[in-house]
Chain A
Amino acid sequence: MTLQSPGVRSTNVIDLTDAARETPRQLGGRRPEDRLAVIGAAVSSLAITAAVFTQLTPFSGVVGFLAFAFATFIAVYALIVSFDEPGPIVRDRLVAVLIHGAAAFLVAALAIVVGFTLWKGRQALTHANFFTEDMTAAGPLEPLSVGGIKHAIVGTLEQIGIALTITVPLGLLCAVFLNFVPGRFARLVRTLSEAMTALPSIVAGLFVYATVILSLGVGKCGLAAALALSVEMLPIIIRASDVVLRLVPGTLVEASLATGASQWRTVWHVVLPTARSGLATAVILGTARGIGETAPVLLAAGYTTGLNADAFSGPQVSLPLAAFTFVKSPEPAMVARGFGTAAVLMLLVLLLFAVARVLGGRAPGNLSRRAAAARRRRSAQDVRRMQARSRREARDDDIPTIWSTT
């Protein structure tokens, strides 16, 4: 036997004389020698790389070290595996190593991006005034104990609030339209909004700059930024909720229509509640995208150092724009503020994601344990109510009841 799938125990002897003692063959899992091959290759590649970097050549640098070690690991591992496995299995193992490497790299990159921002932001975040003051009193040379980003927090909350008031009803209604009023027009809208999901944020900003600020003559303000964010978020929310609504089981919709419910009652009482957690996730994903956009705010709302709680007039800054403006300054304190602002922004996005996780993001009809229990209780209550009514009607009309009266 030359070709065997990975991990099959070739030494497993089945005792056919005693059928009762027959044990199932183990098809998956790893053999000890597989694990040893990985460990051996890792140790060997580290040793070779260390020798090359410290003794043999003038190579240096962490990136070079890691890249060289990974390449050596692949070579050594291929050699070890090829001692006792045929070609296809060697290729299988090598691809597995590459794929694991790519996934680990991506996760490590995420960890570095998040960790680096939090680490550099810690100086600013430990000052309480960072959250309670704006930047009017803080010149470029002021230390971190003066000034903060209250104005940016207020700006972000107001802009995203306005954007959500526009996009949530419009986006959800449009997704309902795409799914329940089908036709050529719906297809056109779907194609267009799908193509718009990757609308460059600067173009959204430029659009609002061209319409609201240049054509209508409204000055730069939070409302304009919110409109730009809406243009940016709308296709994302539509697309995500369209996908969620498409997953609502057609049997549920038809059951509702068959009981005689009208279409809008079906949508309101069956479709939307069924897809609730998915829709919430769609909205949160759109919010997370909108909250981090810098370019639209830069073009539409301008920059100010002071607190401006009125979104309808005057420049209003948001968190990403504040971070962007801070780090362009050469002063270390300003750069630290920039990182602090970016950290606050990132924590906000993390919080949104945590909320999305708690809400579920479950597929329609796939309930959490508590929701399922609540639904069972309500269903039992309905049965009791119907039994009571049918008993009452049976008493009045003297017709035998269809509900068991136990």
Chain B
Amino acid sequence: MRRSTLGGQVAVTTARTTHEVPRVLAARPDPADVAFRWLARAAGVMVLLVMTLVGLFLAVRAEPALRKAGWRFLTTESWEPDAGRFGIAAVLTGTVLIALVAVAVAVPLATGAALYISEYAPRRLRTTLIGLVDLMAAIPSVVYGLWGLFLLQPEILVHGPRGDGLPRWIATYFGWIPFLSVTGADPRDPLSTGTLYTSSTFVAGLVVAMMVAPLICSIMREVFSQAPAGEREGAYALGSTKWGMVRTVVLPFGVGGMIGGTMLGLGRALGETVAVFLIISPVFVIQPHILQNGTSSVASLIALRYGEATPFATAALMAAGLVLFLMTLVVNFVASSVVARSRSGAVSDA
């Protein structure tokens, strides 16, 4: 009999006693296998190295600026590194507000679309829709930026000399809510200018919402479709309507995925660069009025200023990048751990 190509020799200990002793399975691994494992491990180390280096290099490069500014880096609004006055209070507020607007708009849309795909859509339409949503997530951000700059803002949201449209309407009727007011706007003045409502946190947030909605949608859809069939049938058998079934089975099951997907969308929205850059007109004061012209974000600050920066100003930009990096990292960590905890049956059989 020919020897089969066993990966390792198996030492068999036969016991002469009556009660059986478990066999000792000492496998000496194949040299090729050892090499394979080391190669795979090396790839893992390499990836880990790259990922740590990102944070490390940013920190090292940002060190001179952070040393000079100290804790004031987090509380200063203006950005004049060479004059020694620089901080991210304004840009960070802008970043967070844009991301919050984006998530607030995207989450209801994405939830609806995800529920439609997983619960309501005909089977044949389902795969097409999944493909469309994935495609929407892959459309380059510069395309969304163009759409926002040339269609959404001038044609849909703020049109005409007086800036008629949704932002003006909200500011007129809901201006009593502090962050929705627009300073300098008088709804009764027929000569008031429309540019007051352009390039705002709100418009940038809407564009980013269109970018993150498909991302959130695809995560939610995945979790919703894993809701156990037995419990769905049970809800129906008790006489539940479809919405009753969704509310009592699918949504409680998918709540982790919903939170995680939302946070992943938030992480993506925080880091968006070009689409925001194209829409906003940068200001370096804290701008809490989301409908008003002028806001800023960390990513667009870097894209705007890196070109003509002196070495010290570059260090300051690196510091801003480091803060952005740490913020998205924390958001993503929390998000992926929430998603991972909620996901069941991630491992296949055997």
Contact = CB atoms under 8 A, between A and B. Distances in A.
B236 to A, nearest CB: 7
A106 B268 CA distance: 18
Interface centre among B43, B242, B264, by most A CB within 10 Å? B43
Contact of A263 (B7, B50, B135, B239): B7
Interface in A191-209: 191-204, 206-207, 209
Contacts of A174: 40, 43-44, 46-47
By secondary structure, the A interface counts as helix
A403 interface: no
Nearest to A59: B169
Contacts of A35: none
B239 A327 contact: no
A62 B165 CA distance: 10
A248 interface: yes
Interface in B311-350: 314, 317-318, 321, 324-325, 328-329, 331-333, 336-337, 346-350
A201 B111 contact: no
Contacts of A110: 132, 135-136, 139
Nearest to B109: A102
Given A292-B141, A295-B274, A173 B39 contact: yes
A107 B321 contact: no
Interface string A215-249: 10000000000000001001100100000001111
A99 B115 contact: yes
Contact of B116 (A102, A261, A323, A346): A102
Contact of B156 (A63, A96, A186): A63
Interface residues of A, number: 111
Contacts of A124: none
Nearest to A6: B241
B228 interface: no
B336 A113 contact: no
A103 B129 contact: yes
A240 B108 CA distance: 26
A135 interface: no
Interface in A84-135: 88-89, 91-92, 95-96, 98-103, 105-107, 109-110, 112-114, 116-117, 120
Contacts of B264: 197-198
A174 B43 CA distance: 5
A24 interface: no
A3 B135 contact: no
A338 interface: yes
Contacts of B129: 103, 107
A238 B43 CA distance: 11
B161 to A, nearest CB: 14
B324 A202 contact: yes
Contact of A117 (B41, B143, B271, B332): B143
Given A173-B40, A320-B142, A199 B328 contact: yes
A100 to B, nearest CB: 6
A349 interface: yes
A50 interface: no
A64 B271 CA distance: 31
B54 A203 contact: yes
A254 B213 CA distance: 40
Nearest to B272: A200
Contacts of A259: 4
A178 B112 CA distance: 34
Interface residues of B, number: 108
Contact of B143 (A96, A192, A346, A353): A346
Interface string B202-228: 000000001001100100000000000
A289 interface: yes
Given A189-B47, A203-B321, A298-B303, A250 B138 contact: no
Contact of B350 (A185, A192, A250, A261): A250
A194 B73 CA distance: 29
Contact of B271 (A6, A63, A199, A207): A199
B112 A99 contact: yes
By secondary structure, the B interface counts as helix
A342 B302 contact: no
B106 to A, nearest CB: 10
A181 interface: yes
Nearest to A177: B40
A262 B30 contact: yes
B341 to A, nearest CB: 12
B273 interface: yes
Contacts of B111: 102
Contacts of B39: 173
Nearest to A201: B273
B146 A327 contact: yes
Contact of A292 (B142, B147, B333): B142
Contacts of A248: 348
Contacts of B346: 246
11 contacts: A102-B115, A113-B147, A207-B54, A251-B349, A251-B350, A253-B350, A264-B33, A285-B134, A299-B306, A323-B143, A339-B150
Given A89-B241, A194-B332, 8 more contacts: A5-B240, A61-B164, A88-B244, A200-B325, A202-B324, A211-B57, A293-B141, A294-B274
Interface of A: 3, 5-6, 60-64, 88-89, 91-92, 95-96, 98-103, 105-107, 109-110, 112-114, 116-117, 120, 170, 173-174, 176-178, 180-181, 185-186, 188-189, 191-204, 206-207, 209-211, 214-215, 231, 234-235, 238, 246-251, 253-254, 257, 259-265, 267, 285, 288-289, 291-295, 298-299, 320, 323-324, 327-328, 335, 338-339, 342, 345-346, 349-350, 352-353, 357
Interface of B: 4-7, 30, 32-33, 35-37, 39-41, 43-44, 46-48, 50-51, 53-54, 57-58, 60-61, 108-113, 115-117, 119-121, 129, 131-136, 138-147, 149-151, 156-157, 159, 164-166, 169, 210, 213-214, 217, 236, 239-244, 246, 264, 267-268, 270-274, 278, 299, 302-303, 306, 314, 317-318, 321, 324-325, 328-329, 331-333, 336-337, 346-350
Sorted nearest first, the 10 A-B pairs with minimum C-beta distance are A102-B112, A200-B271, A292-B140, A250-B350, A264-B36, A103-B116, A177-B40, A92-B241, A173-B43, A198-B267
